[in-house]
């Protein structure tokens, strides 16, 4: 059985065309544009109706009754005047509160009612007057319909609706003309209706073009908004460190340049700081890169908690973070800030049930005393940081004028080192390494010396550091190694020679190949050569350093770990590297005769070496009491001023390789 449609469905189907005609546009921008046009052109619509009504009243006042020709249209005209004044004032100084929904429908209804009222009034005038007056009625209604369509050209259904309403009274007029045999009037009326209707539908096409234009503008606006968001995200990604979520190096310098520009007028002080986190490399080697990254994330989180509008913190390097302090920059305040930062960052890190500890050094430079441009401020903050690491380890250093002298000194050293005749200006001194059990010298350590014709004698701690920083160290290594091996060739065959390698030597495969080539060309047996490396040199890249040391060991040379205990000592390094000897740093030897704790540390290191089948050498031995303590601890090979100061290569044989030296030592040791 066929289901009958219910009443609601029937009503919905009947109302569907009406809803299509007057429903508001779903797109708010289109509805707003339509409404703006609607409220601007409505006054003209009412003006057209008033003008046509006045014309019809004047032409029919002689033929029609006064109540019909004059008084009946007055309420309609008054309503048009009120609405026209309202819209003129609205257009002039304020925007209507809404552009969709019932208000628009109500205004459309008012327009339709007025148009229909005027059309009915015109139809009532039609029987009066001559043929010309009747034609004026038809033309007036046609003009009103076309005027309405023109004024509502950008409204989707309004031209059609108002035109239909305005021309509706023509239906009985056409029928009346046909019945009375007035075929000419009928034809004119039909032509006018068709023309008005055609124009209304043509004008409706303007709405489609308006809607298309608005939609295109919407799409363009959305694309611009998307492009703006994309640009903002790209800017964020380009200026934020992905791991720590702190501003990155680029953003750091952007902020620094902006602050320099802002402070260029009054030159009010602010500070640039650098902090470096030490201890990350061992975490990488011991627990893997992922563990290290987790620790760095936590470092970033802790630093972000310390940042505020006056303190910008950014990641400036792998383990370096930059600070811009815009508040109080007195030296005492900066040192206090550095202490606070170190306190927070040096707290234990618990990652995956593994504990890690880091050490932090901080350096500051204050504008404008330390520099007036970003590069100078950064360099001086970096110098203060390096001073904190090397001289005042684990402390906060504020750049001072004394540091400025040191920078100029380094620049001067670099300038003359680049222009130096290394073969002539570099020399090698040697310090003996003594075995007290056999009372004989087992080796000499080569120590670099540089005498500049301009600067004079430069301490190795000064020029070697500059050479490493400026990548001149490879040239120095080659010259010094050849001079060392040339001197050692005159020694007895059982005496070995120790030569120090730089971290940059270990990280450069080409440098290692050059070193091996020099060894092979020297004619000295490789087993007489000891290559010394520091823990700090190893920490930069343990894997590459291990490969370099293994290549050296394959030649027959021995590998010494120098300054043990001052870097990042751990059993993992000793186990993974091809080491033969561990040298105990002089800082542990200085107090072993007086302090029990120092003796315990040295004893522990000696026992560790014995268990790992490694020999050990004590550095910095200066007294007989220190010798006796070391002998009791099980360390018999020593080096220090007690056994001899460094001397030139030509004096080694006469000064050390003689019975006189042995007898002198025996007297000290007895």
**Neighbouring-strand partners of residue 313:** 323
What is the per-residue pLDDT for 458?
93
Q: What is the pLDDT of residue 12?
A: 55
Residue extent(s) of CATH 3.20.20.450 domains in the chain: 412-565+578-665
DSSP sequence for 576-594: HS--SEEEEPHHHHTTTTT
Question: At residue 271, does pLDDT exceed 60?
Answer: yes
Banded model confidence at residue 192, pLDDT cuts 50, 70, 90: low
pLDDT at 196: 59
Note the pLDDT of residue 206: 63
Q: Map residue 124 onto helix, strand or coil.
A: helix
Burial (0-12, 13-18, 19+ Cβ within 10 Å), 157 = buried
| Phi, psi at 396, each rounded to 5° | -110, 130
Residues 6+ apart with CB under 8 A from 627: 436, 621, 638, 642, 668, 669
Which residue would you say has higher pLDDT here, 113 or 468? Answer: 468
The CB-based long-range contact list for 216-225 (8 Å cut-off, 24+ gap) reads 217/29, 218/27, 218/29
DSSP 240: B
Whole-number pLDDT of residue 160: 56
Q: What is the pLDDT of residue 249?
A: 92
What confidence tier does 667 reach under pLDDT thresholds 50, 70, 90? very low
For residue 225, what pLDDT is reported? 86
What is the model's pLDDT at position 71? 85
For the cut 90, the answer to whether the pLDDT of residue 616 exceeds it is yes
Q: Are strands 615-618 and 637-639 parallel, antiparallel or unpaired?
A: parallel
Residue 240: burial class (beta carbons within 10 Å; 0-12, 13-18, 19+): middle
Q: What are 514's two structure tokens?
A: 């050059």
User: Average pLDDT over the chain, rounded to whole?
Assistant: 80
Question: Confidence band (pLDDT; 50, 70, 90) for 665?
Answer: very low
Predicted confidence (pLDDT) at residue 153 exceeds the cutoff of 80: no
Higher pLDDT, 499 or 9: 499
- Residue 170 structure tokens: 């023509």
* Mean local confidence (pLDDT), 338-344: 93
Q: Is the pLDDT of residue 670 over 70?
A: no
DSSP string, 355-371: EE--EEEEEEEEETTS-
The residue ranking higher by pLDDT, 131 or 66, is: 66
Residues of the chain with CATH 3.30.70.270: 249-399
Would you give the DSSP letter of residue 526? Answer: G
Return the ∠ at Cα 642 (arms to 637 and 644), rounded to 5°: 90
The position carrying tokens 């200066």 is 622
- Check residues 27 and 612 and name the one with the higher pLDDT: 612
DSSP code of residue 657? S
Element (H, E) at 493: none
Q: What share of the chain is helix, strand, coil (3-state, %, to 5)?
A: 60, 15, 25
When comparing pLDDT for 24 and 139, which is higher? Answer: 139
Encoding tokens for residue 617?
A: 């050498």
Q: What is the pLDDT of residue 453?
A: 94
What pLDDT is attached to residue 156? 55
Token look-up 């003309």 returns: 177
- pLDDT beyond 50 at 587: yes
Cβ atoms of 379 and 345 closer than 8 Å: no
What pLDDT score does 367 carry? 92
The answer on pLDDT for 230 being more than 90 is no
pLDDT attached to residue 486: 94
Burial class (CB in 10 A: 0-12, 13-18, 19+), 431: buried
Q: Report the topology of domain 412-565+578-665.
A: TIM Barrel (3.20.20)
205-209, 236-240, 463-467: least confident range = 205-209
Percent of the chain with pLDDT over 90: 38
Distance CA 284, CA 244 (A): 17
At 303 the pLDDT is 94
Whether 426 shows a pLDDT value over 70: the answer reads: yes
Q: Give the model confidence (pLDDT) of 34-57 as tens digits.
A: 666 667 777 777 787 788 888 888
The pLDDT tens digits of the residues spanning 354-384 come to 888 888 999 999 998 888 899 999 999 999 9
Say whether pLDDT at 575 is over 90.
Answer: no
CA-based nearest residue to 491, from 441, 425, 530, 451: 441
Residue 449 pLDDT > 90: yes
Residue 274: pLDDT over 90: yes
Give long-range contacts, CB 8 A cutoff, 24+ apart: 2-5: none
Residue 377 CA to residue 502 CA, distance in Å, equals 29
Three-class DSSP labels, 398-426: ECCHHHHHHHHHHHHHHHHHHCCCHHHHE
User: For the structural domain made of 249-399, what CATH number should be given?
Assistant: 3.30.70.270
Query: Mean pLDDT across the stretch 475-496?
Result: 94
Those residues whose C-beta lies under 8 Å from the C-beta of residue 493, and which sit 6 or more positions away, are: 525, 528
Return the DSSP state at 5. P
User: Residue 660 — very low, low, confident or very high, per pLDDT cuts 50/70/90?
Assistant: very low
Residue 224 pLDDT level (bands cut at 50, 70, 90): confident
- Cβ contact 99:32 at 8 Å: yes
Could you give the 3-state DSSP secondary structure of residue 120? Answer: helix
């Amino acid at each position: 059985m066929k289901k009958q449609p219910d009443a609601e469905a029937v009503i919905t189907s009947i109302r569907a065309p009406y809803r299509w005609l007057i429903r508001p546009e779903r797109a708010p921008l289109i509805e707003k544009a339509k409404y703006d046009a609607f409220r601007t052109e409505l006054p003209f619509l009412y003006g057209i109706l008033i003008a046509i009504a006045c014309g019809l009243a004047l032409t029919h006042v002689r033929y029609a009754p006064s109540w019909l020709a004059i008084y009946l249209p007055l309420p309609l005209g008054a309503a048009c005047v009120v609405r026209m004044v309202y819209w003129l004032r609205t257009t002039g100084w304020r925007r209507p509160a809404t552009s969709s929904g019932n208000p628009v429908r109500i205004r459309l209804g008012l327009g339709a009612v007025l148009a229909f009222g005027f059309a009915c009034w015109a139809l009532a005038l039609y029987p009066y007057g001559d043929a010309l007056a009747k034609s004026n009625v038809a033309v007036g209604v046609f003009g009103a319909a076309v005027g309405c369509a023109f004024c509502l050209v950008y409204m989707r259904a309004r031209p059609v609706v108002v035109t239909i309403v305005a021309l509706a009274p023509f239906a009985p007029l056409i029928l009346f003309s046909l019945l009375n045999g007035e075929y000419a009037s009928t034809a004119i009326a039909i032509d006018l209706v068709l023309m008005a209707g055609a124009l209304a539908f043509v004008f409706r096409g303007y709405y489609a073009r308006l809607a298309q234009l608005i939609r295109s503008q919407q799409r363009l606006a959305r694309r611009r908004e998307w492009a703006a968001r994309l640009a903002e995200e790209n800017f964020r990604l380009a200026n934020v460190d992905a791991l720590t979520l702190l501003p990155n190096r680029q953003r750091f310098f952007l902020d620094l340049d902006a602050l320099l520009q802002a402070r260029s007028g009054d030159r009010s002080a602010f500070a640039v700081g650098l902090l470096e986190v030490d201890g990350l490399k061992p975490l990488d080697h011991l627990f893997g890169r992922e563990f290290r990254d987790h620790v760095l994330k936590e470092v970033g989180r802790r630093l972000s908690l310390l940042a505020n509008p006056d303190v910008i913190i950014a990641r400036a390097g792998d383990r370096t973070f930059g600070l811009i302090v815009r508040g109080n920059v007195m030296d005492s305040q900066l040192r206090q800030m550095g202490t606070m930062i170190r306190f927070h960052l040096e707290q234990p890190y618990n990652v995956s049930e593994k504990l890690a500890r880091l050490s932090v050094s901080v350096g500051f430079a204050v504008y404008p005393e330390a520099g007036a441009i970003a590069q100078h401020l950064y360099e001086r903050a970096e110098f203060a940081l390096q001073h904190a690491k090397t001289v005042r380890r684990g402390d906060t250093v504020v750049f001072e004028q004394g540091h400025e002298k040191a920078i100029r000194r380094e620049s001067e050293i670099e300038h003359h080192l680049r222009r130096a005749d290394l073969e002539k200006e570099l020399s090698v001194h040697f310090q003996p390494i003594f075995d007290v059990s056999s009372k004989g010298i087992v080796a000499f350590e080569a120590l670099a010396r540089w005498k500049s014709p301009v600067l004079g004698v430069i301490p190795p701690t000064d020029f070697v550091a500059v050479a490493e920083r400026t990548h001149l160290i490879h040239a120095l290594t080659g010259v010094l190694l050849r001079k060392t091996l040339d001197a050692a060739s005159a020694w007895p065959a059982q005496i070995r020679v120790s030569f120090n390698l730089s971290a940059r030597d270990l990280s450069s495969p080409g440098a290692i190949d050059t070193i091996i080539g020099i060894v092979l060309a020297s004619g000295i047996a490789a087993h007489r050569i000891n290559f010394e490396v520091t823990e700090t040199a190893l920490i930069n890249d343990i894997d590459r350093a291990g490969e370099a040391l293994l290549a050296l060991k394959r030649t027959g040379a021995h590998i010494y770990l120098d300054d043990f205990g001052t870097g990042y000592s751990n059993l993992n390094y000793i186990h993974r590297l091809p080491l033969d000897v561990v040298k105990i740093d002089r800082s542990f030897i200085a107090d072993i005769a007086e302090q029990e704790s120092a003796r315990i540390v040295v004893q522990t290191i000696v026992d560790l070496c014995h268990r790992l089948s490694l020999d050990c050498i004590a550095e910095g031995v200066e007294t007989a009491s220190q010798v006796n303590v070391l002998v009791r601890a099980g360390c018999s090979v020593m080096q220090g001023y007690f056994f001899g100061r460094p001397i030139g290569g030509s004096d080694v044989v006469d000064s050390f390789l003689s019975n006189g030296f042995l007898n002198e030592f025996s007297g000290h040791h007895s």
